[in-house]
Amino acid sequence: MALESQLQASLSDPAALERLYRSDPAGFTRTFPALFALHPDSGILQAWQARLNFADPASAAESAPAEKSLPIAKVVLLALTAAFLAKLPGLFSSAVQDFVYPRDTAFFVLGPLSVYFALVRRPSRRIMFFVLAAFALAALYINLLPEGPGHARNQNGLSLACLHLPFLLGWLTCLVYLGASWREIDARAGLIRLIGEAIIYTSLVLLSGIVLTLVTGGLFAAANLPFMETYLQWVVITGSAASPIVGTHLAYQRLQGKTLIAPLLARIFSPLVLITLVVYLVSLLPNFHHLYVNRDFLIIFNVMSVCVLAIAAFGLCTWTSRSWLDYVLLALLALALLIDLTALSAILSRLSWYGLSTNRLAVLGANALMTMHLAGLLYYLARGLFRTHDLAPARRWLLRYLPAYPVWTALVVFLFPVLGWWLA
Helix (H) or strand (E) holding 128: helix 125-144
- Please tell me the predicted confidence (pLDDT) of residue 59: 40
Residue 258's pLDDT band, with cuts at 50, 70 and 90, is low
- Please tell me the predicted confidence (pLDDT) of residue 405: 84
225: Cβ contacts below 8 Å, ≥ 6 apart: 283, 284, 287
Q: How far is 117 from 249, CA to CA, in rounded Å?
A: 9
Do 290 and 223 meet the contact criterion of CB atoms below 8 Å apart? Answer: yes
Give the mean model confidence (pLDDT) for residues 304-319: 73
Give the mean model confidence (pLDDT) for residues 302-327: 72
Please tell me what DSSP assigns to residue 266. Answer: H
Helix (H) or strand (E) holding 17: helix 14-23
Percent of residues in the chain assigned helix, strand, coil, to nearest 5: 85, 0, 15
- Please tell me the predicted confidence (pLDDT) of residue 69: 65
How much is the pTM? 0.56
Highest mean pLDDT among 94-98, 157-161, 216-220: 94-98
User: Out of 41-45, 210-214, 227-231, which region has the weakest mean confidence (pLDDT)?
Assistant: 227-231
Query: Is the pLDDT at 351 greater than 90, yes or no?
Result: no
At 144-189, the pLDDT tens digits run 887 755 554 556 667 878 888 888 898 899 899 988 888 887 777 7
User: Out of 93-97, 146-150, 181-185, 228-232, which region has the weakest mean confidence (pLDDT)?
Assistant: 146-150
- Please tell me the predicted confidence (pLDDT) of residue 403: 83
Residue 136's pLDDT band, with cuts at 50, 70 and 90, is very high
Q: How far is 270 from 329, CA to CA, in rounded Å?
A: 7
- Please tell me the predicted confidence (pLDDT) of residue 76: 85
Do 112 and 82 meet the contact criterion of CB atoms below 8 Å apart? Answer: yes
Query: Is the pLDDT at 1 greater than 60, yes or no?
Result: no
More confident residue, 396 or 266: 396
Indicate if the alpha-carbon torsion angle 319, 322, 323, 327 is positive or negative: positive
User: Out of 133-147, 312-326, 366-380, which region has the weakest mean confidence (pLDDT)?
Assistant: 312-326
3-class DSSP state of 390: coil
- Please tell me the predicted confidence (pLDDT) of residue 228: 62
Q: How far is 407 from 396, CA to CA, in rounded Å?
A: 19
- Please tell me the predicted confidence (pLDDT) of residue 418: 67
Q: How far is 404 from 415, CA to CA, in rounded Å?
A: 16
Q: How far is 78 from 111, CA to CA, in rounded Å?
A: 10
Domain spans of the chain? 3-59, 69-258, 260-423
- Please tell me the predicted confidence (pLDDT) of residue 23: 80
Indicate if the alpha-carbon torsion angle 50, 52, 55, 59 is positive or negative: negative
Q: How far is CA 70 from CA 37, 38, 41, 124, in A?
A: 17, 20, 21, 18
Query: Is the pLDDT at 424 greater than 60, yes or no?
Result: no
Looking at the chain, the whole-number percentage of residues with pLDDT higher than 90 is 12
What is the per-residue DSSP string for 232-248?
Answer: HHHHHHHHHHHHHHHHH
